[in-house]
Structure 1
Amino acid sequence: MSTPLEVEPGSSSAQPEALLEGAGKIEGRSLWQISWTRLKRDKVALAGGFVVVFLILVAVFAPLICKIFGVTPNEFHQDLVDPSLQTSIAKWNGISWDHPFGIEPVNGRDIFARIVYGARISLLIAFLATIVSVVIGTVMGIVAGYFGGWIDTIISRLMDIFLAFPLVLFALALVGAIPDKLLGLQGDSLRVALIVFIIGFFSWPYIGRIIRGQTLSLREREFVDAARSLGARRPYILFTELLPNLIAPILVYSTLLIPTNVLFEAALSYLGVGVRPPTASWGDMLSTAANWYQVVPLYMIPPGLAIFVTVLAFNLFGDGLRDALDPRSR
């Protein structure tokens, strides 16, 4: 037998703990901490996130912003409009220190104030419709993916029916048939609730399909089997075990669904079935600009640019968030 190797007590090999003295503790990081670290590296996504936060602040503090600039969205400035409308282009559509984005043709309303107030309508409808569709789609997707069988078949066919539904035509027909007062709502409140219902209730299958696919893979995982073996009931498994693991795809798809809803609201307002004038809306401003394009072409730029920047910012932030939460998708 070979003689055991003797190591002097004072050597570093004899006390490996001494090598770790002064080294900091290794702390584990959660999924959200790791995702935030990845997201901070994506400068484009951060820029989109800052623009999103800025737009939300503009929408929330629209009255204060307009008060600081001394403008109002529905005040007519007939004295600033040339009756012939032939000199508006030479005057840059009335752009001045008092009216940074100029004034509308014919009635002379301030474009800057209407853009700011239009952000309230667009973002409010987009966020509310997204919440409705996410809640319905998440519940239906989890139920279909977890239970399977005939329940999955019924919900999946229901998704196919909603996806094949002509949403724009239905919106045009429904808005024309709804009276001016319904369920205690009237005016802009009724129009906003109606648009939120149309967008949210008929767009839930998009996120429902994603949640269903994720649930089909999660229901076979070990933690779900462990919950079943411990006697956990189905509602507990659905909303305590599965739902927390679906937060990431829900959050990512929500950020990508909001710009789609902004575009849909603008399209409805453009077609005349959105909020009613004189309430400011980006789609309605584009519709009016189309009628005066040959006389005042600059009037189309502010609302079009507002929609473009909003949709681009949400898409960039959503793409960056998706890459941060699921780097395998890159």
Structure 2
Amino acid sequence: MSTPLEVEPGSSAAAPEAVLEGVRKIEGRSLWQISWMRLKRDKVAIAGGIIVVFLILVAIFAPLICKLVGVTPNDFHQDLVDPSLQTSIGKWNGISWDHPFGIEPVNGRDIFARIVYGARISLLIAFLATLLSVVIGTVMGIIAGYFGGWVDTLISRLMDIFLAFPLVLFALALVGAIPDRILGLTGDALRVALIVFIIGFFSWPYIGRIIRGQTLSLREREFVDAARSLGARRPYILFTELLPNLIAPILVYATLLIPTNVLFEAALSYLGVGVRPPTASWGDMLSTAANWYQVEPLFLVPPGLAIFVTVLAFNLFGDGLRDALDPRSR
């Protein structure tokens, strides 16, 4: 048996604590910190995120922006419209310092103000519809994936029914059958609530299928078995053990679902079942511009470009967020 090594008092050998004093400590990083580092390296996703934040700020501060520019969305400027041709008097759709994007034909309403106010309607409906579909899809997906059996079969067939539903035709029929007042809601509030319900309630199966697949994998993990062995009840396992591990796919799919809802709201407004005039909406502006494109072709550009930039920004940010949270998907 070897004898322990003895250090003489005058020896140069240092204690372990003294050796570690000059070593830099390496701090651990959480999964969210690692994901943020990956996201910061994706310049395209960051650019999309900046545009998304800008659009949200524009929608929130629309009245202030229009007040600073000196324009309003619903005021008519008949003095700027040629009464014989029903078009703007000036060139380039009446673009001027007072009207940066020009004016609408026939009535002379300012296009810039209507684009800014239209952002409020499009983003409000898209965010609320996405929230509704995410909540319903997450709950149904977790229940179907965790319980399995006849519960999974029932919810899966329900998803198939909703996915096969003719949503546009249903929206057209429902808007025509709904009275002007329901549960104290009238006017634009009723239309917004109706569109949010149609989009959100009938689009939850898309995220429900994703959450169900993730839950089928997570329910076999060790931390779920440990929770069961400790006597945890099913609601605790579903919403305390499983749900936090589903935040990443929920967040990613929500950012990719928002631009789809923006397009759907614009399509409903284009067909005349969105918010009622004179409330500004990008889809309604496109519908009006389609009737005047031969004499005022530039009228199509602002609402079309607003929809294009919004959808592109959300898609770029959503793709970057997906790559950051799940690098194996690249």
- With normalisation by structure 1, the TM-score equals 0.95
TM superposition shift of 1:28: 1.2
Shift of 1:27: 1.5
Question: How many angstroms apart in 1 are the aligned matches of 2:12 and 2:263?
Answer: 67
Mark the CA change 1:97 to 1:23 in structure 2 (over 3 Å): closer, same or farther.
same
Structure 1 residue 6 displacement after superposition: 9.2
Are the aligned partners of 1:89 and 1:295 in contact in 2 as well (CA < 8 Å)?
no
Q: How far does residue 291 in structure 1 lie from its aligned partner after superposition?
A: 0.2
Task: Please report how far the alpha carbon of residue 83 of structure 1 lies from its aligned counterpart in structure 2 after TM superposition.
Answer: 2.0
Shift of residue 243, structure 1, vs aligned partner:
0.2
2-side partners of 1:74 and 1:152: how far apart?
Answer: 51
Equivalent in the alignment of 2:164: 164
Looking at structure 2, the residues matched to 242 and 10 of structure 1 have their Cα atoms a distance apart, in angstroms, of 60
Structure 2 Cα separation of the partners of residues 48 and 243 of structure 1: 28
What are the superposed Cα offsets for residues 115-174 of structure 1, whole Å, 9 maximum, x if unpaired? 000000000000000000000000000000000000000000000000000000000000
Q: 1:232 to 1:10 in 2, by over 3 A?
A: farther
How far is 1:24 from its partner? Answer: 2.4
State the SS of the aligned residue for 2:15: coil
In the TM superposition, residue 8 of structure 1 has moved relative to its aligned partner by 8.7
Could you tell me which runs of 5 or more consecutive residues in structure 1 were left unpaired when the two chains were aligned: none
Aligned residues: 330
Give yes or no for contact 2:266–2:283 (8 Å, CA) kept in 1: yes
After alignment, is 14-23 or 274-283 more displaced?
Answer: 14-23
| SS class of match (1:63) | helix
CA–CA distance in 1 between the matches of 2:135 and 2:190? 21
Inter-CA distance 124–282: structure 2 relative to 1 (3 Å threshold): same
Q: Percent same amino acid among aligned pairs?
A: 92
Q: 1:87 to 1:130 in 2, by over 3 A?
A: closer
TM-score by length of 2: 0.95
* Contact residue 87 and residue 105 of structure 2 kept, 8 A: no
Structure 1 residue 10 displacement after superposition: 8.3
The verdict on how the C-alpha distance between 1:11 and 1:205 changes in structure 2, with shifts beyond 3 A counting, is farther
Q: 1:184 to 1:2 in 2, by over 3 A?
A: closer
Deviation at 1:23, TM superposition (A): 2.2
Residues 159, 43 of structure 1: alpha-carbon distance in 2 compared, 3 angstrom cutoff: same
Which segment is superposed worse, 302-311 or 9-18? 9-18
Question: Residue 82 of structure 1: CA displacement?
Answer: 1.4
Q: How many Å separate the matches in 2 of 1:10 and 1:225?
A: 57
Per the TM alignment, residue 25 of structure 1 is displaced from its structure 2 partner at its CA by: 1.9
Residues 231 and 311 of structure 1: CA distance in aligned 2, closer, same or farther (over 3 Å) = same
Unaligned runs of 5+ in 2: none
Instruction: Go from structure 1 to structure 2 and tell me whether the alpha carbon gap of 1:11 and 1:32 turns closer, same or farther (over 3 Å shift).
Output: farther
